[in-house]
């Protein structure tokens, strides 16, 4: 196969999302430009209200990014220096970076071998013998669009007096037992990075909660601690969703459920076409509605398959190639109470295949055909 062959099937395609809703998005952008209002205006307020109604919470606060959303959620819970926050290492580094930005200590626990989300049994062991510090919170990550095991995590958190801060950066619209991610914990953080299921045309994030006191603290923290302009009641910073992104996201929110359904249909096609490969395909947690932000498979010869697909013109991404605890910035420094063998194994084997709502059946068929051919010839890649 030709190493330099153009990509026939990208792993994701934010441009396709824009073209799918171009007229609506262009109208929304022109509306903002003509309004003359750029920051924290009617578009942000309207999007916050629409997002609250969609998720099923009372309060939504638009912020500058998903990382900011996590950091502000942590600060709103009063978490800081010397406090312990339990989460996973198999995640985007933003989850751990937000914990460190507020001076707290990440305690990393292993993942469930089927869903790759936080394993409640590993969390329980970590809480039984925590490192030095005060346990304050747990951040379950709804990875790849799959809800974490929230009933078990909540039971442990309540028993140990911990805040539950959901990382919903990859789970817009996902549900568990009929409840959307973002409604289970005390507070939750969303990202609107362009490749997300609900993606802006730039950075953006949202903090959501049913707790009026936490919501008020987030609103203070996100803009210099102001209740009255230029008067800081508490120390705060600057993290605001801008009007343009809010207007674009309002458009895309109307299409989110339909596009998530497209992702599920594509995932079902992959399931059927790849069933005989023997590779580990995504499984959906009982009672969950997965939104397939990623369609991540696992196989021992992941790197060989990635190369094979690239030569065939198929884009793939590894989410995530190096667990946070093994990355140069964090290695030998992060607090962890046990080894993370499943996390490290998955990082060696996981590969995200192309998936996005505008992907065609023919493209899914082509990608699957390449993978089946790789599997049939697999002895050459061992």
Residue 182: per-residue pLDDT: 98
Cα atoms in the 13 Å half-sphere on the side-chain side of 311: 12
Q: Where residue 1 falls among pLDDT bands split at 50, 70, 90?
A: very low
- What average pLDDT does range 346-365 have in this prediction? 98
Q: Strand 175-176: give its sheet, edge to edge.
A: 179-180, 175-176, 288-289
In angstroms, rounded to a whole number, what is the distance separating the alpha carbons of residues 277 and 371? 8
Q: Please return the burial class of 3, using the count of CB atoms within 10 Å of its CB with bins 0-12, 13-18 and 19+.
A: exposed
Q: Where residue 379 falls among pLDDT bands split at 50, 70, 90?
A: very low
pLDDT tens digits, one per residue of 121-172: 999 999 999 998 999 999 999 999 999 999 999 999 999 999 999 999 999 9
pLDDT tens digits, one per residue of 231-290: 999 999 999 999 999 999 999 999 999 999 999 999 999 999 999 999 999 999 999 999
Give the number of other CB atoms < 10 A from CB of residue 373.
12
The CATH number of 17-108+116-253 is 3.40.640.10
- What average pLDDT does range 316-323 have in this prediction? 97
Residues 106/335, Cβ–Cβ less than 8 Å: yes
pLDDT at residue 380 is higher than 60: no
pLDDT at residue 4 is higher than 70: no
In angstroms, rounded to a whole number, what is the distance separating the alpha carbons of residues 314 and 307? 9
pLDDT at residue 2 is higher than 80: no
122: left (phi over 0), alpha (psi -120 to 50) or beta: alpha
* Distance of alpha carbon 357 from the chain centroid: 17
pLDDT at residue 373 is higher than 70: yes
Sign (positive or negative) of CA dihedral 20, 180, 154, 114: negative
Residue 335: per-residue pLDDT: 55
* End-to-end C-alpha distance for the chain, whole angstroms: 18
SS3 readout for the chain: CCCCCCCCECCCCHHHHHHHCHHHHHHHHHHHHHHCCCECCHHHHHHHHHHHHHHCCCEEEEECCHHHHHHHHHHHCCCCCCEEEEEECCCCHHHHHHHHHCCCEEEEECECCCCCCECHHHHHHHHHCCCCCEEEEECCECHHHCCCCHHHHHHHHHHHCCEEEEECCCCCCCEECCEECCCCCCEEEEECCCCCCCCCCCCCEEEEECCHHHHHHHHHHCECCEEECCEECCCCCECCCEHHHHHHHHHHHCCHHHHHHHHHHHHHHHHHHHHHHCCECCCCCCCEECCCCCEEEECCCHHHHHHHHHHCCECCECCCCCCHHHCCCCCCCCECCCCCHHHHHHHHHEEEECCCCCCCHHHHHHHHHHHHHHHHCHHHHC
pLDDT tens digits, one per residue of 195-241: 999 999 999 999 999 999 999 999 999 999 999 999 999 999 999 99
Q: Where residue 9 falls among pLDDT bands split at 50, 70, 90?
A: very high
Average pLDDT taken over every residue of the chain = 95
Q: Please return the burial class of 376, using the count of CB atoms within 10 Å of its CB with bins 0-12, 13-18 and 19+.
A: exposed
Percent of the chain topping pLDDT 70: 96
- What average pLDDT does range 332-343 have in this prediction? 75
Q: Where are the domains of the chain?
A: 17-108+116-253, 256-381
Q: Where residue 6 falls among pLDDT bands split at 50, 70, 90?
A: low
pLDDT tens digits, one per residue of 65-110: 999 999 999 999 999 999 999 999 999 999 999 999 999 999 999 9
Global pTM value: 0.96
Is domain 256-381 in CATH 3.90.1150.10, yes or no? yes
Helix axes 66-76, 212-221, angle to 10 degrees: 120
């Amino acid at each position: 196969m030709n190493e330099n062959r153009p990509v026939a099937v990208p792993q994701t395609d934010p441009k396709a999302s824009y073209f799918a809703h171009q007229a609506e998005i262009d109208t929304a952008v022109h509306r903002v430009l003509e309004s003359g209002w750029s920051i924290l205006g009617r578009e942000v307020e309207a999007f916050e209200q629409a997002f609250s109604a969609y998720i099923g919470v009372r309060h939504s606060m638009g912020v500058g990014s998903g990382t900011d959303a996590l950091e502000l959620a942590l600060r709103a819970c009063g978490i800081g220096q010397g406090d312990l926050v339990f989460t996973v290492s198999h995640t985007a580094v933003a989850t751990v970076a937000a914990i460190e930005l507020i001076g707290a200590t990440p305690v990393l626990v292993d993942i469930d071998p089927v869903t790759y989300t936080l394993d409640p049994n590993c969390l329980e062991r970590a809480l039984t013998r925590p490192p030095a510090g005060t346990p304050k919170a747990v951040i379950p990550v709804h990875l790849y669009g799959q809800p974490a095991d929230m009933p078990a995590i909540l039971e442990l958190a309540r028993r140990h007096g911990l805040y539950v801060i959901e990382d919903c950066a990859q789970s817009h619209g996902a549900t568990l037992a009929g409840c959307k991610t973002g409604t289970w914990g005390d507070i939750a953080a969303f990202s609107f990075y362009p490749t997300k299921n609900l993606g802006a045309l730039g950075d953006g994030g949202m903090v959501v909660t049913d707790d009026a006191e936490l919501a008020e603290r987030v609103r203070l923290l996100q803009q210099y601690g102001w209740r009255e302009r230029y008067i800081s009641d508490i120390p705060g910073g600057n993290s605001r969703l801008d009007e343009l992104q809010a207007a674009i996201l309002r458009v895309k929110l109307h299409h989110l459920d339909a596009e998530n359904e497209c992702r599920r249909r594509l995932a079902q096609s992959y399931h059927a076409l790849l069933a005989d490969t023997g590779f580990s395909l995504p499984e959906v947690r009982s009672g969950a509605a997965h939104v397939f932000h990623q369609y991540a498979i696992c196989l021992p010869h992941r790197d060989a398959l990635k190369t094979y697909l690239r030569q065939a013109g198929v884009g793939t991404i590894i989410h995530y190639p190096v667990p946070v605890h093994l990355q140069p910035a964090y290695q030998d420094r992060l607090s962890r109470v046990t080894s993370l063998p499943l996390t490290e194994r998955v990082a060696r084997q996981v590969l995200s295949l192309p998936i996005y709502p505008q992907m065609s059946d023919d493209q899914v068929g082509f990608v699957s055909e390449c993978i089946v051919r790789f599997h049939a010839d697999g002895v050459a890649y061992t």
